[in-house]
Amino acid sequence: MQGGLYDPIIAHTHRPYQAADPPVTASIAIMYAVSALFTAIGLALLLALLRPGSEGRVYAFRMIGTMGLALGAALAMSATAMWRWSLAA
């Protein structure tokens, strides 16, 4: 390896995407799509807080928006883990 330190553990465990890797399966693609949907909804609700509103609306939008973003992030991480596990198999 040129220009840096060589760590055989990282070199062995880190495998970049290669053209021979299988594509994303339908179930993983669906997980990514649902993740994007919930992330977009959560972000839209949080951006809607820029306009003034009642206390109840602010509370609900803040809670639901935060939960939407968290769900989107969790689904994206799960889909990525499933995809990497399918590559390792």
Query: 53 is written with which tokens?
Result: 């509103």
* pLDDT 10s digits, 16-69: 655 555 678 889 999 999 999 999 999 999 999 999 999 999 999 999 999 999
Tell me the Ramachandran region of residue 3: left when phi exceeds 0, alpha when psi lies from -120 to 50, beta otherwise: left
Per the confidence metrics, is the pTM higher than 0.85?
no
Distance CA(68)–CA(45), nearest Å, equals 9
The count of other CB atoms within 10 Å of the CB of residue 58 is 14
